[in-house]
Amino acid sequence: MSAADLRAAVRSGLPTGLDTLAALVAIPSVPAPAVQSLDDCRRVAEAVRVAFADLGLEARLATTADGSQAVIATHPAPPGAPTVLLYAHHDVQPAGDLAAWTSDPWTLTQRDGRLYGRGAADCKGGIVTHLVALRALLDVHGAFPVGLVVVVEGSEEQGTDGLEQYVVSHAADFRHVDAAVVMDAGNAAVGEPALVTTLRGTAFVELRVRALRGTVHSGMFGGAAPDAIAVLVALLATLRDEVGDTTVDGLDASRTWDGLPYDGDRFAADAGLLDGAVPIGSADPASQVWARPALTVVGIDAPTVAGSAPAVQATAGAALNLRVPPDVDPAAAGELLVAHLLRRAPAGVEVTARVTGVGAGFRARGGASSSAFRAALSEAYEGAPVGSLGGGGSIPLCATLERAIPDVEVILAGVSEPAANVHAPDESVDPSEIEHMALAEALFLASLGAR
């Protein structure tokens, strides 16, 4: 099976793959009933199941402990061949403020060479990458060269551990897996291939403040009545120092990254910093986003500016996301954050904080399969060198797979390079990344089968 044949097959199958991506993006599969009907999550799960079944895999839906539906699709290995797990997820983040999008988030829209839409990169683009790679193998080889276990999760964005619990309770279904390709990361930039070798763990914390029995007039009571929003702001201000380092009592924030660097100017461009701004923190960007904890305020409950009244607010709240280095227990880190906040609660004000979800960090083991995927990446990107990156995000399944399958190699790749703007308005994917990553996966699977 030649690389040229697979390259041609991937290129030929890409338009169909992008049509599938458009159909998946059109289903707003946000696993939050307060935001979107869960019927959409069920619809997208069924659409993904059908897509893999159409390739000849035995595909079914599995309801996990958190109520979400994962797609599990399998195909037996040829005699003597290894089995590879292919992962992606079909749930997506909410679109948020629709006015912040240049085009409808639920309509895949081509603009300036990229395809825009919620989930285009994270991670429906990953699903399509698997589909295009597998179709190319069938077109060229007529069969799959390895055994397959495809897992497409339905609650990755929730942090509720549904799939992790499923893998643990069904460990016997996964123990024959030799390598796992997690298609939920990305390259250093378009056309610059890399594998992600570490991921930070994560803890979600909900913070609530009650300062009064009820909201009162700011002219009659302001100045002497405690203000819940002011208390909330003061508490949040304790979580970062003057240079931008995270300051949670008991959590080390001094580590440095020893892998590939992340140039400050490039980071500023990737992150969309304003003109003249520089990255925050006391270390280089790579250390700040890959080696150190990071506390982000991801939501606040308070009156909106539009329609606000001159009143002292009785209650306020915030949703916090804490990212920690891969060898730090995220549950313990979350409890440190809770203790930090409660320790600073003013007298006479009710402050509550609780950990609402955690996800384990990850450090890749490396090995023969990882080396083979690196070689496939270089081939797919026409000889480009393959780097190693850290990942600031969290994919809890990686650590779960290593615990459930003692000898498995987990390989982190994907189509969400920095310009993809995942979890934000105008999320997008460069179709060339899907093409090249699908080719790399097809070459990788073919090479394993050839052994």
HSE-CB at 119 with a 13 A cutoff on CA atoms is 34
CA distances from 370 to 381, 397, 408 (A): 16, 18, 11
Name the token pair of 58.
């035995």
Residue (of 160, 164, 15, 184) closest to 86 by Cα position? 184
Task: State the amino acid at position 277 in one-letter form.
Answer: A
Residue (of 3, 1, 50, 2) closest to 380 by Cα position? 3
CA distance 339 to 132: 48
Residue (of 18, 104, 3, 111) closest to 435 by Cα position? 18
> Of residues 156, 284, 409, 426, which has the active-site annotation?
156
CA distance 91 to 239: 30
Exposure string (b/e) for 213-227, b if CB count within 10 Å is 16 or more? eebeeeeeeeeebbb
DSSP 8-state code for residue 143: S
Q: Reply yes or no on whether 184 is catalytic.
A: no
CA distances from 385 to 195, 258, 376 (A): 11, 18, 11
> Of residues 91, 122, 270, 417, which has the active-site annotation?
91
Q: Reply yes or no on whether 122 is catalytic.
A: no
CA distances from 72 to 85, 172, 370, 411 (A): 10, 14, 23, 19
CA distance 287 to 281: 9
CA distance 359 to 351: 25
CB 346 within 8 A of CB 226: yes
Catalytic residues: 91, 156
